[in-house]
């Protein structure tokens, strides 16, 4: 049975995803997902697949661990345009350009990235400053933030691997 948390025609949503756990730089300089990271992301992806979630695009930073996380998610959910690499969402990039872009956006999208960038972006969307921290991200977790009436943003839901059996 499907758990409906996605509603066609509802307000715009952005799904912020922290990449799954990755191997250390000493093991592999490209830092791909570890076995735990892959398993965690697959668990979350399988869970959200049951919700009927649809996005226009899944964007990732281009780093190996983010691209692999995006690929796993894309294999389970509907993404009209598939996966694309997006500049400006690396760990220490400024959030303001994407924040401004999202304020005007109308199509749902998923952004797979890194801390501290995702934490700062979520906090800005929710009305805070970059120095604050409104969301406790976890590797492999997804936070759905919805733009409501009056263009105010609010957390709709969050799922992390540790919640799923």
Per residue in 39-59, pLDDT tens? 999 999 999 999 999 999 999
CA neighbours closer than 13 Å in the CB half-sphere of residue 40? 23
Region 60-74 average pLDDT: 98
82/96 Cα distance (integer angstroms): 25
- Portion of the chain with pLDDT greater than 90, in percent: 88
C-alpha triplet 88, 97, 121: angle, nearest 5°: 80
Identify the band that residue 10 occupies on the pLDDT scale cut at 50, 70 and 90. Answer: low
159/138 Cα distance (integer angstroms): 9
Give the start-to-end residue ranges of the domains of the chain: 19-163
Q: At what angle do helices 64-74 and 35-49 cross, to 10 degrees?
A: 30
Region 66-73 average pLDDT: 98
CATH number of 19-163: 3.40.50.1240
149 versus 135: the higher-pLDDT residue is: 135
Burial 116-155 (b: 16+ CB within 10 A, else e): ebbbbbbbbbeeeebeeebbebbbbbbbbbbbeeeeebee
The SS3 call for residue 13 is strand
83/122 Cα distance (integer angstroms): 21
DSSP 161: G
Please give the mean pLDDT across all residues of the chain: 93
- pLDDT tens digits, 17-37: 999 999 999 999 999 999 999
Identify the band that residue 9 occupies on the pLDDT scale cut at 50, 70 and 90. Answer: very low
149/153 Cα distance (integer angstroms): 9
DSSP 102: H
Identify the band that residue 69 occupies on the pLDDT scale cut at 50, 70 and 90. Answer: very high
2 versus 18: the higher-pLDDT residue is: 18
The alpha carbon torsion through 137, 140, 146, 151 (nearest 10 deg) reads: 60
Radius of gyration of the chain (CA): 15
- pLDDT tens digits, 99-143: 999 999 999 999 999 999 999 999 999 999 989 999 999 999 999
- Portion of the chain with pLDDT greater than 70, in percent: 94
């Amino acid at each position: 049975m499907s758990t409906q948390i996605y509603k066609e025609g509802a307000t715009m949503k952005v799904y912020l995803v922290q990449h799954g756990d990755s191997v250390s730089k000493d093991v592999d300089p490209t830092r791909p997902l570890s076995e735990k990271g892959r398993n965690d992301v697959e668990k979350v992806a399988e869970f959200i697949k049951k919700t009927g979630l649809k996005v226009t695009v899944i964007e990732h930073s281009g780093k190996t661990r983010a691209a692999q996380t995006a690929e796993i998610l894309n294999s389970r959910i509907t993404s009209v345009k598939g996966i694309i690499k997006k500049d400006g969402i690396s760990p220490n990039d400024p959030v303001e350009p994407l924040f401004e872009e999202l304020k005007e956006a109308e199509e749902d999208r998923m952004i797979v990235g890194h801390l501290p960038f995702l934490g700062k972006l979520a906090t800005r969307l929710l009305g805070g400053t970059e120095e604050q921290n409104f969301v406790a991200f976890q590797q492999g977790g997804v936070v759905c933030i919805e733009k409501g009436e009056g263009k105010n943003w609010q957390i709709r839901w969050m799922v992390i691997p540790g919640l799923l059996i």
